[in-house]
Amino acid sequence: MTFDYDLFVIGGGSGGVRAARVAAATGAKVALAEEFRMGGTCVIRGCVPKKLMVFASGYAEMCDDAQAYGWDVTCGAFDWPKFRTQLHKELDRLEGIYRKLLSNSDVEIFDARASLKDAHTVTLSTGQDITAKHILIATGGRPVLPDIPGAELGITSNDIFLLDELPKSILIVGGGYIASEFAGILNGLGVKVTQFYRGAQILRGFDDEARGLVAEGMRDKGVNLHLGTNIVEMRAPTDQDLTGEGMSAPIEQGKPTSVSSGKPVKGIWVKATNGNEAIYDQVMFATGRAPNTEDMGLGDIGVETGRRGQIIVDDYSQTTVPSIYAIGDVTDRVQLTPVAIREAMAFVQTVFKGNPTKNDYEMIPSAVFTQPELGTIGMTEEEARDIEPVEIYCTSFKPMNHAFAGRSDRVMMKLVVSRETRKVMGCHIVADHAGEMIQLVGIAVKMGASKEDFDRTVAVHPTMAEELVTMKDPVRSA
């Protein structure tokens, strides 16, 4: 049987683009369909614009520090429209690069939505049917709104980069990566930020001490963090709400309508589980993401999906239909761009290079770009001590640059060490540039370095990271 293509990729995000390019480099005939913008979540409405906003949000504090270091500077107001214009120019540039990479690799691009007709055929939204020997689904995910009355009045991380103006106040709901990162970003940009997390501490799954320090740091910087708290209901404010005492003054957003007068009003009225009622200019939900598998015809052709809609795959990213593979967030394994890229590479090895390759999910370093930043690899103290006896090496201190500037921010460096093998089972860093640090220390940890290997490494002085190789005694054994 002959096919139009050797590979048809659905989705032009990090995983899909990488798989298409690398498969094409093997001589395969490849096409890719993307319904929105090339680059996917990471480039268009995720990691990249978020990180640029993290940078933007740090300047107010840097101005204060500069004054403490003797500079005669004052930080004026943040100009959101100016930043947003520059941001979107940069995203356009990056999207252009992604397109060029594909066309330079001889990958044919279809700017259309694709669904599955059978095991070897996709149907485009243009009506065209295309056949392929292999189909790769890399359609990613999208933010979901919780089942709360009035939730549709809120925004998600998709909307934040497109706002006409920054709100004066925002309620962010959730305690994961996205909620906690945006709480810091918007706070740094001068927005009055309240964050609700339904659990006992934000960043569930990360090391407890690290979570505690991040939460404390966020509060110190001004985020009004409420734990064990959620929204009961939200709605457009009534005229009475707007004149009520204790309410924050809302600004024009133009969307909600007063329930009592029917006139357009400003802000969103929120009732919380702790009994508080308040009006926020915006409410942002960062309450998790769902895989993009709807209306693709997956069930009709036998591609199995899980309870959350994620595509079920084996260790080689193969679905229950042998000619169809899936990688990245749509499979809900580890929702990180570099993981999707590695799944893409393993897929190409397996299918186009005759070298069946499983992706390695052990010891994945990652960073949460909260303020303060968190870098992590391996097991948390809590996970490790459930498995075997461990020693904990941990230090928390005021770094010299902060101490000089009179800031109270503290840094934390922590190693979780196996008492039996002496291997470093986990490393957790809360500090400026923790993401950069964990990338490097992650190599040693991934290689199986022992605590004594760390100790043998000469400190780089004066740095924050030198503490990782100078911690002499465990703070506790567990």
Contact 433, 417 (CB under 8 A): no
Q: Which span sits near ligand NDP by CB under 6 A: 3-11, 197-205, 382-390, 396-404?
A: 197-205
Instruction: Name the residue with tokens 């229950």.
Output: 320
Q: How far apart are CA 243 and CA 4, in angstroms?
A: 65
Q: Which of 253, 282, 310, 335 binds ligand NDP (CB under 6 A)?
A: 335
CB of 336 to ligand NDP, least distance (A): 5
Please, what is the minimum distance in Å from the beta carbon of residue 81 to ligand NDP? Answer: 25
Q: How many CA atoms lie within 13 A of 210 on its CB side?
A: 28
Using CB under 6 A as the binding rule, whether residue 234 contacts ligand NDP is answered as no
Nearer to ligand NDP, 48 or 213 (CB): 48
Among 184-192, 248-256, 291-299, 362-370, the segment contacting ligand NDP (CB under 6 A): 362-370
- Output the smallest distance, CB 289 to ligand NDP, in A: 5
Cβ distance to ligand NDP smaller for residue 175 or 291: 175
Residue 74: helix, strand or coil by DSSP? coil
Q: How far is the CB of 219 from ligand NDP (least distance, A)?
A: 17
Q: Are 55 and 87 in contact (CB under 8 A)?
A: no
Examine residue 48 and tell whether it contacts ligand NDP (CB under 6 A): no
Cβ proximity to ligand NDP: between 272 and 412 the closer is 272
Residue 58 CB contacts under 8 Å (≥ 6 apart), including other chains: 188, 371
Contact pick of 48, 242, 279, 336 for ligand NDP (by CB under 6 A)? 336
Least distance from ligand NDP to the Cβ atom of residue 20, Å: 23
Binding segment for ligand NDP (CB under 6 A), chosen from 28-36, 161-169, 269-277, 286-294, is 286-294
The span from the CA of 150 to the CA of 14, in Å, is 34
* Residue nearest ligand NDP by beta-carbon distance: 176
Residue 286 found at the interface with ligand NDP (CB under 6 A): yes
Distance CA 75, CA 84 (A): 19
**Three-class SS string for 253-322?**
CCCCECCCCCCECCCEEEEECCCCEEEECEEEECCCEEECCCCCCCHHHCCCECCCCCECCCCCCECCCC
**Residue whose CB is less far from ligand NDP, 181 or 391:** 181
Q: What is the DSSP letter of 155?
A: B
Binding residue for ligand NDP (CB under 6 A) from 117, 168, 198, 446?
198
Question: Residue 234: helix, strand or coil by DSSP?
Answer: strand
Query: What distance in Å separates the CA atoms of residue 134 and residue 204, rounded to the nearest whole number?
Result: 38
Residue 203 in contact with residue 173, Cβ under 8 Å? Answer: no
Stretch that binds ligand NDP, among 60-68, 195-203, 252-260, 273-281 (CB under 6 A): 195-203
Tell me: does residue 333 bind ligand NDP (CB under 6 A). Answer: no
- CA distances, 399 to each of 326, 408, 431 (Å): 44, 9, 9
Which C-beta is closer to ligand NDP: that of 135 or that of 283? 283
Q: How far is the CB of 244 from ligand NDP (least distance, A)?
A: 25
Strand partners, 141: 291
Ranges within 119-138 binding ligand NDP (CB under 6 A) = none
Q: Which of residues 367-396 bind ligand NDP (CB under 6 A)?
A: 367-369
- Helix 177-188 × helix 47-57 angle, to 10°: 40
One-letter identity of residue 412: M
146 binds ligand NDP (CB under 6 A): yes
- Side-chain half-sphere CA neighbours of 20 within 13 A: 35
Q: Does 444 bind ligand NDP (CB under 6 A)?
A: no
Is residue 461 annotated as a catalytic residue, yes or no? yes
Contact between 230 and ligand NDP by CB under 6 A: the answer reads yes
CB of 417 to ligand NDP, least distance (A): 25
DSSP characters for 159-194? HHTT-SS--SEEEEE--SHHHHHHHHHHHHTT-EEE
199 binds ligand NDP (CB under 6 A): yes
The three-class DSSP label of residue 124 is strand
Smallest gap from residue 51 Cβ to ligand NDP (A): 9
Contact between 287 and ligand NDP per CB under 6 A: yes
309 sits near ligand NDP (criterion: CB under 6 A) = no
Terminal CA-CA length for the chain: 61
Nearer to ligand NDP by C-beta: 177 or 352?
177
- DSSP secondary-structure letter at 245? T
- Residue of 134, 226, 433, 461 with catalytic role: 461
Count of residues in contact with ligand NDP, rule CB under 6 A: 24
Unique residue bearing structure tokens 């998790």: 288
Interface map 155-184 toward ligand NDP (x if CB under 6 A): ------------------xxxxxxx-x---
β-strands 366-368, 374-378: how paired?
antiparallel
Q: State yes or no: residue 228 binds ligand NDP (CB under 6 A).
A: no
Catalytic residue annotation? 461
Q: Which residues bind ligand NDP (CB under 6 A)?
A: 146, 173-179, 181, 197-199, 204, 230, 286-289, 335-336, 366-369
